[in-house]
Amino acid sequence: MRKSALTGALLASVSLAVPAMANESVTKLTADPNQWAMQSGDYFNQRYSKLDQINKDNVKNLKVAWTFSTGVLRGHEGGPLVIGNIMYVHTPFPNIVFALDLDQEAKIIWKYEPKQDPSVIPVMCCDTVNRGLAYADGIIILNQADTNVVALDAKSGKELWKVTNGDPKKGETHTATTLIVKDKVLVGISGAEFGVRCHMTAYDLKSGKKVWRGYSMGPDSDILIDPDKTMNLGKPVGKDSSLKTWTGDQWKIGGGSTWGWYSYDSEANLFYYGTGNPSTWNPAQRAGPDGKQIDQKYSMTIFARNPDTGMTAWVYQMTPFDEWDYDGINEMILADIDVKGKKTPALVHFDRNGLGYTLNRKTGELLVAEKYDPVVNWTTGVDMDPKSPKYGRPAVVPAMSTFKEGKGQDVNAKGICPAALGTKDQQPASFSPRTGLFYVPTNHVCMDYEPFKVSYTAGQPYVGATLSMYPAPNSHGGMGNFIAWDAGTGKIVWSKPEPFSVWSGALATAGGVVFYGTLEGYFKAVDEKDGKELFKFKTPSGIIGNAMTYTHKGKQYIAVLSGVGGWAGIGLAAGLTNPNDGLGAVGGYAGLRNYTNLGGTLTVFSLP
């Protein structure tokens, strides 16, 4: 693409003169709290419902209304959609889709079962999960494990089109949901643990035709960056801003997965997502020729892109030269909140690295960066002085580094907090406009990290580190907390300890109740103001799915998928027993098998 074309496209991406329209059907449906038309509830990723029939006074009376078995084991992430009187349920690999008629006791209207090569399973990092379906204009979008993106007729289940987004033989897979903005289906990809150069791609909703693709690293034209217009903390990124931070051709196997949750602001006409770790996990192999650290842009980065053109408006890198696998893919929640006494169009992000970030979503200005678990010890904090040459960068504690500066050597480090799965992984937080607080499921886990040299072979693991994980020491002894967070000040308002990591997505409601699930299988409701537990129920398996709510015939229901798995539950999901397997998670979560077992079940609750 010529520079003039790049510039023109970028100018279109940052123009705020005329508000853009999100997809009209999705906008209309998400404005109706009786339905649940997006995995995140709305384009702002808030996971908040205006329904209040179930409230903090009566939630203790919840009963199971009905259940549905998916017939699939392994980890069940994401959640169902409800459009009108139909509920759409998905499964992990092989990614079956069910359409259930809520008017006929959840009778199966249609079932779509893709035929996928099981050889994709070994190259799926951290379980065979899928984070759910997307809907727009009468079309269901399924993001299959084998990277096929499939459009299905929502009424009949008929396949309308299918397009291949990657190559599993190279380690490219799908675990994320998609985001539909206007007539574009926005699709990310996994594969950093296999040396994939990852990307974000837009496909036409009606035809499946590829419209644009923006890579996480490489030449400006590949990333869809304009060196003079794309901003980083208020300054243009400059020419070859990514290439300058890689040695030789390392960027070609650079990682930067894009498998998280995406959000969209129609006024700014920007969508937001994060990129994952650079490949490999051994930082010494990514050091500069002088043996010093080098940023490896744009891994570990928040991107703000124009959905029409893919052009990048701004970027912010959270963990330059990542030494711990602190993927930056966690959800970007958009909310207008008070930051230091000023109403701000904010983007709030709870990163794997243990820092909760608040940025101006329109400009990329960094406003807050604070620890959302006090045990985080790899950094003393982020330089917040705009005049400092290290502005926006975290200060690394030398004892927690897995790399020796200047010598280009890897280092075995112990007692690093958080562990590689982060203070929070993919399990999405929620925001309540009632309280102005964010409700965050967290991991209270630390690790020992031993890098080793690894060679790249397409389709083979390109990790280069052995990990062991364990509960944070000198604390409550558990591996998780559910917290309320003030993103304007960067402070924890209240924290509820849990024995295991809280790996499910949260749901806040107008009834003053916040819902979440636990790895042992408990589905819980707590008071939005103080975290007091109001309700709990033991589902058939550990919960790593996301709570959602809807109404049917005037009655409010709360639903959640249970089915233990994901990174934390990989030992159970894949039958692993070696403590170092699962990139260190098997040993850390070995106790889970005493509390739960495999099984995919949708559990739906209501008041009597």
Q: Name the strands in the sheet holding 555-562, side by side, starting at the edge strand that comes first in the sequence.
A: 63-69, 601-606, 555-562, 548-552
Contact 120, 173 (CB under 8 A): yes
Closest CA to 380 of 391, 367, 371: 371
Give me the amino acid identity at 81: L
Secondary structure of 262-324 as H, E, C letters: CEEECCCCEEEEECCCECCCCHHHHCCCCCCCCCCCCCCEEEEECCCCCCEEEEEECCCCCCC
In sign, the C-alpha dihedral spanning 243, 247, 252, 254 is negative
Contact 123, 173 (CB under 8 A): yes
Contact 192, 286 (CB under 8 A): no
Give burial (CB, 10 Å; 0-12/13-18/19+) of 246.
buried
φ, ψ dihedrals at 539, nearest 5°: -85, 170
Q: Six-digit token pair at 442?
A: 């967290």
In sign, the C-alpha dihedral spanning 255, 261, 265, 266 is positive
Sequence-distant (≥ 6) Cβ neighbours of residue 384 within 8 angstroms? 366, 369, 391, 392
Contact 47, 430 (CB under 8 A): yes
Ordered DSSP codes for 90-135: E-STTT-EEEEEGGGTTEEEEEE-----GGGGGGSTTSS-----EE
- 325 is known as an active-site residue: yes
Give me the amino acid identity at 140: I
* Dihedral-angle region of residue 123 (phi above 0 means left; psi in -120 to 50 means alpha; beta otherwise): alpha
Task: Give the active site residue among 42, 265, 325, 410.
Answer: 325
Q: How many CB atoms lie within 10 A of CB 490?
A: 18
Distance, in Å, from the CA atom of 424 to the CA atom of 442, rounded to the nearest integer, reads: 5
In whole angstroms, how far apart are CA 104 and each of 99, 157, 558, 600?
12, 18, 18, 22
Catalytic residue list: 325
